[in-house]
């Protein structure tokens, strides 16, 4: 049984958007994190898809490093070939299957919570 709610009020949705933008803005160069980790950090662990939608519609003026967000297996966003190029330019390593090497390049949740990189 889950111990969190599924539905957000519009005020909570705005706060979620702001939290997602804040979290993503802190992902250091050369690292990635997952939609699910961002959702959990924002306090809505079941909303990883909403993280994706939030990033998709983020204004360009926010200048967020959205390319540093991948799925839990390390797959990049479908239809965004430049994401891999951008990550490789930052030193992110990929495995033979085309997924990010999460063992080496994942920005760790436990480290995030301690306030370190």
Residues of the chain with pLDDT under 50: 1-2, 117
User: How high is the pLDDT of residue 11?
Assistant: 94
84-110 burial: b if 16+ Cβ within 10 Å, else e:
bebbeebebeeeeeeebebeebbbeee
pTM here is: 0.86
What residues are paired with 106 via a beta bridge?
32
- Residue holding tokens 């959702």? 39
Question: Quick one: tokens of 48?
Answer: 């990883």
Q: 45: buried, middle or exposed (CB in 10 Å: 19+, 13-18, 0-12)?
A: middle
Residue 62's pLDDT is 85
């Amino acid at each position: 049984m889950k111990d969190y709610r599924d539905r957000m009020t519009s005020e909570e949705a705005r706060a979620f958007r702001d939290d997602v933008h804040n979290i993503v803005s802190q992902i250091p160069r050369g690292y990635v994190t997952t939609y699910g980790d961002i959702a959990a950090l924002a306090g809505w662990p079941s909303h990883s898809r909403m993280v994706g939608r939030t990033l998709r519609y983020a204004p360009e003026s926010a200048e967020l490093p959205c390319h540093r967000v991948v799925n839990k297996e390390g797959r990049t966003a479908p239809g965004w070939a430049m994401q891999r190029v951008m990550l490789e330019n930052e030193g992110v390593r990929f495995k033979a299957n085309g997924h990010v090497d999460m063992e080496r390049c994942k920005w760790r949740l436990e480290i995030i919570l301690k306030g370190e990189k």
